[in-house]
Amino acid sequence: MESNKLLKEADVAEMLGVSILTLRKWRCYGKGPEFRRLARRVVRYPSAGILRYVESCERGGAPNAA
């Protein structure tokens, strides 16, 4: 996976095994992987941020997951 690629929320939800609704809730509560809001209804996730999030979950549980 390219470290600077921006991923759509549907792709990230599938990768993490969660629903799109879960990703949206995480964003509202400041949890989950880092994201970029490109426009009012356009959200993208940097692939490097997804990898960091997964690694943080593997090391000691999901520190910022709902």
Give the separation between CA 19 and CA 22, rounded to whole angstroms: 5
Predicted pLDDT of residue 2: 61
Predicted pLDDT of residue 61: 59
Predicted pLDDT of residue 4: 80
Domains contained in the chain, CATH given: 6-60 (1.10.10)
Predicted pLDDT of residue 21: 98
Q: For residue range 4-63, what is the model confidence (pLDDT) as tens digits?
A: 899 999 999 999 999 999 999 999 999 999 999 999 999 999 999 999 999 988 776 565
Predicted pLDDT of residue 58: 78
Predicted pLDDT of residue 39: 96
Q: In what order do the strands lie in the sheet with 6-8?
A: 6-8, 42-46, 36-39
The amino acid present at 26, given as its one-letter code, is W
